[in-house]
Structure 1
Amino acid sequence: MSSPKFSQAAEQLMQLRGLGPLAEKMGIQILELSAERAVATMPVEGNTQPLGVLHGGAHVVLGESLGSFAANVWAHPDKFAVGIEVNASHSKSVTSGTVTAVCTALNLGKTLATHEIVISDESGRRLSTVRITNFLKEKKS
C-alpha cells in the first residue's frame, strides 16, 4: 500500500487533530487529502446492519468525515469547518470487502464549502452519493 497523499495543510491538520475516535473505530483510512479532492477507504466488516449489508449510517459517517476533513483543509489555518447539512442517497448494497469514497469539492467559498462524496465497492459500483455543506467559522484568538 502506498503512503497517503496529503496537501501541506492536510498534513498539518492530521498531525494536529488526527482522524477522531469514530473514524478510527470504523476503520476509515485516508489515502489522499486536499480541499479539492480526498479519497478514503473503509471495511464493510464491523460496519454492517443486522441484515449483513453495510449500514447506511456507515456510508454517511464515511462521507461526512471525508467532506469535513476536506473542508477543514480549505478553512485552515484561520478558520475551521462545521457541518450544517448532509444528505445521502443509497443506490446499491454491499456485504463484504472494502468501500472507497472519493470526495470532490463542488464549492469552496469564503463562508461555505460543499463537497460531493461518491462511495463505491471494490468493483467500482456506486453504492452511495453523499453531499455535505460546511460552514467556515473564524477561529477565536
Structure 2
Amino acid sequence: MEYSKKETLAKLNAMCKNNLLETLEIEFTDVTEDTVIARMPVTTKVHQPDGILHGGASVALAESVGSAGAYIFLGKDAQIRGIEIAANHVKSIRDGYVYAKAKILHKGRTTQLWHIPIVNEDDQLISLVKLTTLTLRT
C-alpha cells in the first residue's frame, strides 16, 4: 500500500462525508494487502418496515467497501463504478453491527471481481455479495 494503514483508513473515512456512506454510518475499520473491511450499525435507519436490516442497505455497504478496495488497490488516478452486484441474504438481524469484508478475486486493469461476505458481531453470515467494478482511468 502506498499509505500506512492508519492514513488509508483516514482517507477512506474522510470520503464518507456528505454522501450515502455518512447517511448509513458506514465506517472503514481495517485494510490489509488484499482486503478492506467496513462496518455499519443496524438501527431503525436501515430497517425494513418489519424491523430487520433492509437488504438494500446491505448491498450499499457491500458496494461501498468493494469500490473502496478498487480505489485503494488499483490506483488513485481512477474513477471506480460498480457495474454488477448480486446478493444472497441468508440471515436477519435487528440490531448491532454488520461487517463487510471485500476481497478481490480478479484484479483486471478494467474490471475487478469482489467477494464480500457480510457478517454480524458473532461472525455469522448475514449476506454474501459478489460485486464487479469498472475502473475508468482519468
**TM-score under structure 2 length normalisation:** 0.86
Distance in 2, matches of 1:61 and 1:6, equals 23
Give the aligned residue type for 1:117. Answer: I
Match of 1:31 in 2: 29
Is 1:102 matched up with 2:98? Answer: no
Instruction: State the 1:132 CA deviation.
Output: 0.8
Q: Is the 8 A contact 1:48 1:55 kept in 2?
A: yes
Give the aligned residue type for 2:122. Answer: S
Distance in 1, matches of 2:97 and 2:23, equals 15
Is 1:112 matched up with 2:124? Answer: no
Question: Counterparts of 1:58-97 in structure 2 under 5 Å?
Answer: 58-97=57-96
Q: Is the 8 A contact 2:9 2:30 kept in 1?
A: no
Instruction: State the 1:34 CA deviation.
Output: 5.4
Q: Which runs of 5+ in 1 are unaligned?
A: none
Distance in 2, matches of 1:111 and 1:100, equals 27
Name which of structure 1's ranges 95-104 and 33-42 shifts more when overlaid on structure 2: 33-42
Q: Aligned pair count?
A: 133
Instruction: State the 1:35 CA deviation.
Output: 6.7
Cα-Cα RMSD: 2.1
Match of 1:18 in 2: 15
Q: 1:19 to 1:79 in 2, by over 3 A?
A: same
Name which of structure 1's ranges 90-99 and 74-83 shifts more when overlaid on structure 2: 74-83
Distance in 2, matches of 1:7 and 1:69, equals 15
Q: Is the 8 A contact 1:85 1:133 kept in 2?
A: yes
Distance in 2, matches of 1:30 and 1:77, equals 17
Q: Is the 8 A contact 1:35 1:105 kept in 2?
A: no
